[in-house]
Structure 1
Amino acid sequence: MVTPGWFAPVLAALVIGLWLALRRTDTSMVALLWAGAAIAVVALFVTPHFLDEAPQLVTESDGAPLAKALLRWAAAGVPLLVLCFLEGVVWRRRVAEAGAALLAYGLAAQLLPTDALAWASALAAIALFQARRERAGAIAAWTAIALGWAAAPFGQWLGAALESLVGTPILLFDLPSPFEAALHLLPAVATLAIVRFERFSHGWQSLASHWLALPLGLVVLHIFYRQLFAIETMTRFIDLGMAERTIWQAILLGFGWIAARGAGRFAGDPRAAAALACASLAHFAIYSSWWHNPMTAAQAVGSTPVANLFFTAFAVAIAAGLLLRHWVPERLRPHCNALVMILATLGAIALLRQAFGGSTPHDVPLGQTEDLLRSLIGIVMALAFLWIGSRLGERSWRVGSLAVMLIALVKVFAFDAAGLSGLLRIASFAALGASLIGLGWFYTRQLKATATS
């Protein structure tokens, strides 16, 4: 070759410029630009110097000489940059914009440190969206690059989260570091929160991408939040796991409340609020009620009766159920009432278990007295639900009270009475009979009051 290999993209750009100077009709100019752009890009990729420059796109390396690398990437991008202004067909102009943006990223990668590339792409997308949002091709390309940088840390977080769904605790070293979250995940969150794509020529509706930032933003928040507890060993997981989960559930519910009310330029959205409340409830159900329930697994809840993590965790879950009543369609509200009744009953049983078992109830076996008190709790909760139903005038609470009472009766007759003898059995049946008489009187009184009104 007359010129060195690294000069091929530059030479291609010069040849294109000469042809444009000789032939200036619009049609030939655009056609030559597309041909020249293809030649320049191919020349960039096939020359040996690309092997030295390519690693700079994703990682730190010695790379090629900086001046040559900058000249090669800039020359390859010039034809595409010109096409962004001359191409009249919308979809072709979008392709030119995306190609020019990708080559601009390659140019920046030769100059900037690797840790700055995700933020550089995100800021470029945001700046272009604010200044010239019709350049959707370039904005989409830079947004895709920012999301690409988020893929690895998000994948690491997702792997740990999926393992936790089958009972494996998430320890601190299972998650990306705060450094990775700040440099690689946050740029994607910022881009998705700000950039919105306008309608394309095919009539697609505008994509409200800012809501896509919410789940990814929660991932970033979760990574930073876990640093506060620094649960690195199983011992710390036993001591702090319940507290860490309960506070996170409260945070999710708090964001749901903010989403319902709206914040800044974002209007309130009950659907987003309901999704966050459901996420809080799902977290409670999967982890604190199933895999790491202190009644069945080694988890510390505190030694003080009532004022302990059992009370806090169930209070947050019940609050989520009550708030869901306002954020879901009216036809689903009876289901929310049923959920609240289930949580309240289980919460009362959990507080009873802590009163007998202490900070780690799993270590203390269930006694006969506690088992009998569980039945009493069921009866008391049924009466409480019936009273609430009469005050609110909602049938679902009254139906729920009867269901809880039926379960308590089955437990008393099928299990509790079998373990008693003599006077204790007589006393238990007497107490049960008195409860049933009281419940029947109260329910009949409420039916008469409803009929009268």
Structure 2
Amino acid sequence: MEALFILAGLFFLLVVPVLAIRANLKLGALEREIVQLRGALAAQKAAPQPTPSAAPIAEAPAVEAAPTVEAPAPIVEALPPEPVAEEAAPLPPVPVKQPKPGFEEKLGGRIFVWIGAVMLALAGAFLVKYSIDVGLLSPAVRVFLGLLMGVALLAGGQWLRKESPIIAQALAAAAVADWFASLFAAVSLYHLIDPLFGFIALAIVTAIGIGLSLREGILVGLVGIAGGFITPAIVSTGTPQPAPLFLYLYLIQLGALVLQHKRGWWQLAALGIGGGLIWVVLMVVAGPAASGLVGLAALSLPLFLLATDLTQLWSLYGKGGVAVSREMAITARAASIASFLLMAFWLSIGGHQLDNWAFLIVLTLVHMAAARRFPSEEIPALVGAAIAIAAYAVWSPFAAGSGWTLGSLMDRSGDFIMIGIVLGAIFGAGGFWFELGAAKPVRWAGLSTLGTAFLFGGAYLNLNEAELVLTWPIQAVILAALHMGAAERLNRLRHTDARYTGALGLHCLAVSGFLALAVPMRLEQEWIAVSWAIELPVMAWVALRLDLPWLKRGIWVGGALVVAAVLLSGFPTGDWIIFNRLLYGIGIPCIGLIATAAILKRTAADKETRLLVMVLELAGAGLLALLIGLEVDHAVGRLVFDTGVDFLRCGIATIVWAALALGLHHLHRRERDPAYLTAAAGFTVLACGALILGGFIILNPLFDQIRVGETWIFNRLMMVYAIPAALLLLIADQLRRPVEQTRFGDHPARAVGLLALVTGFVWVTLTVRQIAQGPILSGGAITDAEQYGYSAAWTLYGLMLLGLGTGLRSQLLRYASAVVVLITVSKVFLVDASDLTGLYRVASFLGLGLSLIGIGYLYQRLLFRRRE
């Protein structure tokens, strides 16, 4: 059975590839013959057809002529002789467009070839394994035969190169793979070759593979480069030597990038750069000590990254190269960004040492210069600058254990300041200098403005408590002045070149932004939101003044930052009741958002601007609601100290929010601005939610011992129920007007009005309870006076609603009056008739009876009076 498997394996490994090669040769010959036949057939079809000879003219019968006149010569004899068709000159054959290969042609002529090449490569490996298993040959002979098989594959491919270049390419790739496998066995399995010599031999194989790719094709280079990157893993001397390793990796990258430069093979460049960077990641993850990256050897890693970036730039834009394709550009961008990330990571784990900072700064400068020369490199250059800024922002100059070279706590604020000044000069001044004459100046203006802003912010967060020569507000003013000078220069250039308009807008924002930052540098945290809120109207004004749509879109981000800064400020209050930190910490951002919306509203012609205006107005309204709630909470908490403090807070907040909703409804009726209606709806929802959750559910005085006040009528029940009910009733009246109605119709008006009427009924009921029980309503038995009081109060409440419904011509109020009266009637018959005694029972029935008679008379004589 094993012999059968061996024979089958030999058949598939040796016979099938030979048959496939032979079939492919025959198929190629047949293809060439078919192409020749098609060309001949097309040439024959394109040749002009011979013109048929003119029909012979029959002789006319002789006509007798006058004896004195001579007969003229026949016309037929004067015609030139007809050309013979056989003597026409043949036209050159018309070239025929070759048809695209079909599936069968690809399968037989290409796929089978590569499968056969893989089989041949595996055959060498299996042959070595078989010889090991059965012990036929010595290790040296096995390796020699493996290398000899690679030579044979390469020679066979060259012999068949004229017949089929695809076969030659496949056999060359198989030969390179066979050499890698044989040398690997000689070094790692049999230890026949010294690791250093084996490393050199494998490097030579890699170079041969890269060189053969120029002759045979890209796939041979892929095999060679892939094997070259595997070589350091399979050949190890036991002692890490990073410098020779990075030199070897760079030479492989250089070969791949040369091929990209000459042939445009971006796949080789991607594999070459990616393999080298993977080795960098592995060594960094393993740790500097395990990788040997200590002392002078540590410089080899940043040198390798710098050389990688420079070489790939040369491969794209060097003289004598092919045109840059989209794939080549994407590969280069990914390589540059990866180099920046790895350099920053190495800088971070190394404790932000100055030598590593120098490499990162050089890499940044080199790529900025390349981007200034080649605009397609602007994106990776700006991303690299952002990575450098992020690396500076996360650097703490007072951290313990500053990396793998320092293990003690030390103050590196001097280095921190020096690197910040260098980066600020590069990004601020360099970015401005690159703006002048750039294809897209706004990108470099973003680097100059945002770069200096983030560097300044990172320095402030780390050194805000340090004693510096210049205070932070003075530094902010200096930076504002520098950007003002840049804006002045760009303003002059803008009149002759409109490209500088966007850059001018960014520098104007930088001026206002640094001036705004100068305020909170020595003040509380809530001033950060204030400074950003002051910046928003400036952004809107500049966007409209200079017609910069992208700056208008930036207001989305700015508004979100303002709201986030307010929410993360912690809401400090201070000692004052109204004029405290809440007033400016939330009030000024609220005003800033609303003012920004007002500026944008002047030219809110497009849909995006209208949406931005509405969002800003709603965000401002939300901050206003938050301010009201916090101010009420703070004020009531400093004035009331009993169990009714939260009850009172709920009532005051409900009143203020309902009053704001009512005012916004009036503004909407006058201005017809949808934002006012939306904000009014938001405040209405807040008021209704506070009333339902606070007054009815969570803080209901019937359930908990909550003090509602000592005095009758004018107490906390009025603040929580009566006044909110009246305001909600007015809001419902506004909502039922046609100008206030939305797609929901009159349903919001009915819902708010119903809540107002129910709240009024609750207030009447709880007021009777307070008169009977005192400030605590949750305990005590119901007396006859209290029971009668409910009936009387409900009756009066129903009559009041009926009067309002009659005067305002509101059917809803009249229906509510009828409901209250029916509730009172049910209560009198079901409760009072059994519980009340004496005059209370008489008064209850008597009062309700007179009321019902009066209601009937009112309906008959005023509401539904019959006409004669």
- Give the TM-score normalised by the residue count of structure 1: 0.73
Q: Tell me if the contact between 2:427 and 2:452 (Cα under 8 Å) persists in the aligned partners.
A: no
Deviation at 1:240, TM superposition (A): 3.3
CA 1:62/1:422 → structure 2, altered by over 3 Å: closer, same or farther? farther
**1:272-324 CA distance string (max 9 Å, x none):** 23432442233223213332233332222322212222234333213312321
What SS does structure 2 have at the residue aligned with 1:298? coil
Aligned length, in residue pairs: 412
Q: Is 1:127 the counterpart of 2:538 in the alignment?
A: yes
Q: Tell me if the contact between 2:787 and 2:836 (Cα under 8 Å) persists in the aligned partners.
A: no
Deviation at 1:77, TM superposition (A): 6.6
Residue 52 of structure 1 is aligned with which of 361, 383, 396? 396
The corresponding residue for 2:608 is 204
Query: CA–CA distance in 2 between the matches of 1:50 and 1:441?
Result: 83
Deviation at 1:257, TM superposition (A): 4.0
CA 1:85/1:54 → structure 2, altered by over 3 Å: closer, same or farther? farther
Q: Is 1:281 the counterpart of 2:629 in the alignment?
A: no
What SS does structure 1 have at the residue aligned with 2:714? coil
CA 1:181/1:37 → structure 2, altered by over 3 Å: closer, same or farther? farther
The corresponding residue for 1:394 is 810
Deviation at 1:215, TM superposition (A): 0.8
Task: List gaps (5 residues or longer) in structure 1.
Answer: 56-60, 158-171, 173-177
**1:23-74 CA distance string (max 9 Å, x none):** 4xxxx3x213223222333344457x8432799xxxxx99662242243256
Residue 383 of structure 2 is aligned with which of 28, 32, 38? 38
Residue 194 of structure 1 is aligned with which of 567, 591, 595? 595
Q: Tell me if the contact between 1:143 and 1:191 (Cα under 8 Å) persists in the aligned partners.
A: no
What SS does structure 2 have at the residue aligned with 1:302? coil
The corresponding residue for 1:407 is 823
Residue 11 of structure 1 is aligned with which of 362, 370, 378? 362
Deviation at 1:338, TM superposition (A): 3.7
Q: Is 1:372 the counterpart of 2:717 in the alignment?
A: no
Deviation at 1:336, TM superposition (A): 4.7
What SS does structure 2 have at the residue aligned with 1:361? coil
Q: Which has the larger radius of gyration?
A: 2
Q: Tell me if the contact between 2:537 and 2:592 (Cα under 8 Å) persists in the aligned partners.
A: yes
Q: For structure 1, which segment, 6-15 or 79-88, has the greater mean C-alpha deviation from structure 2 after superposition? A: 79-88
What SS does structure 2 have at the residue aligned with 1:52? coil
Q: Is 1:250 the counterpart of 2:658 in the alignment?
A: no
Query: CA–CA distance in 2 between the matches of 1:142 and 1:211?
Result: 15
**1:104-155 CA distance string (max 9 Å, x none):** 442231245483644444444443332345224654444444343234347x
CA 1:424/1:117 → structure 2, altered by over 3 Å: closer, same or farther? closer
What SS does structure 1 have at the residue aligned with 2:767? helix
Query: CA–CA distance in 2 between the matches of 1:404 and 1:212?
Result: 41
Q: Give the partner amino acid of 1:317.
A: P
Residue 148 of structure 1 is aligned with which of 552, 564, 583? 564
What SS does structure 2 have at the residue aligned with 1:195? helix
Q: Tell me if the contact between 1:9 and 1:72 (Cα under 8 Å) persists in the aligned partners.
A: no
Q: Tell me if the contact between 1:13 and 1:79 (Cα under 8 Å) persists in the aligned partners.
A: no
Q: Tell me if the contact between 1:74 and 1:103 (Cα under 8 Å) persists in the aligned partners.
A: no
Query: CA–CA distance in 1 between the matches of 2:447 and 2:631?
Result: 36
Q: Tell me if the contact between 1:231 and 1:237 (Cα under 8 Å) persists in the aligned partners.
A: no
Query: CA–CA distance in 2 between the matches of 1:143 and 1:70?
Result: 30
Spell out the pairing of 1:30-429 with structure 2 (5 A cutoff). Answer: 30-45=375-390, 50-52=394-396, 65-72=416-423, 75-76=426-427, 103-109=451-457, 110-111=459-460, 112=472, 113=521, 115=525, 117-133=528-544, 134=548, 135-136=551-552, 138-153=554-569, 185=586, 188-196=589-597, 204-206=608-610, 207-208=612-613, 209-230=616-637, 236-262=641-667, 269-330=676-737, 331-332=746-747, 333-420=749-836, 428-429=844-845
CA 1:182/1:418 → structure 2, altered by over 3 Å: closer, same or farther? same
Q: Give the partner amino acid of 2:365.
A: L
Q: Give the partner amino acid of 2:596.
A: V
Query: CA–CA distance in 1 between the matches of 2:842 and 2:730?
Result: 44
- Give the TM-score normalised by the residue count of structure 2: 0.41
Query: CA–CA distance in 2 between the matches of 1:338 and 1:194?
Result: 36
What SS does structure 2 have at the residue aligned with 1:360? coil
Q: Give the partner amino acid of 1:287.
A: G
Q: Give the partner amino acid of 1:103.
A: G
Q: Is 1:452 the counterpart of 2:867 in the alignment?
A: yes
Query: CA–CA distance in 1 between the matches of 2:838 and 2:770?
Result: 30
Q: Give the partner amino acid of 1:107.
A: L
CA 1:420/1:353 → structure 2, altered by over 3 Å: closer, same or farther? closer
Deviation at 1:412, TM superposition (A): 1.9
Q: Tell me if the contact between 1:10 and 1:76 (Cα under 8 Å) persists in the aligned partners.
A: no
Query: CA–CA distance in 1 between the matches of 2:679 and 2:438?
Result: 43
Query: CA–CA distance in 1 between the matches of 2:357 and 2:722?
Result: 67
Query: CA–CA distance in 2 between the matches of 1:84 and 1:285?
Result: 63
Query: CA–CA distance in 2 between the matches of 1:343 and 1:84?
Result: 68
Coordinate RMSD, CA, aligned: 4.4
CA 1:128/1:301 → structure 2, altered by over 3 Å: closer, same or farther? same
Query: CA–CA distance in 1 between the matches of 2:439 and 2:607?
Result: 20
Q: Percent identity?
A: 17
Deviation at 1:326, TM superposition (A): 4.2
Query: CA–CA distance in 2 between the matches of 1:51 and 1:255?
Result: 48
What SS does structure 2 have at the residue aligned with 1:222? helix
What SS does structure 1 have at the residue aligned with 2:540? helix
What SS does structure 1 have at the residue aligned with 2:396? helix
Task: List gaps (5 residues or longer) in structure 2.
Answer: 1-298, 304-353, 400-410, 461-471, 473-520, 575-579, 738-745
Deviation at 1:212, TM superposition (A): 1.2
Q: Tell me if the contact between 2:636 and 2:649 (Cα under 8 Å) persists in the aligned partners.
A: yes
Deviation at 1:427, TM superposition (A): 6.1
**1:153-183 CA distance string (max 9 Å, x none):** 47x89xxxxxxxxxxxxxx9xxxxx758855
Query: CA–CA distance in 2 between the matches of 1:426 and 1:17?
Result: 98
Deviation at 1:432, TM superposition (A): 4.1
Q: Give the partner amino acid of 1:244.
A: R
CA 1:137/1:50 → structure 2, altered by over 3 Å: closer, same or farther? farther
CA 1:43/1:325 → structure 2, altered by over 3 Å: closer, same or farther? closer
The corresponding residue for 1:160 is none
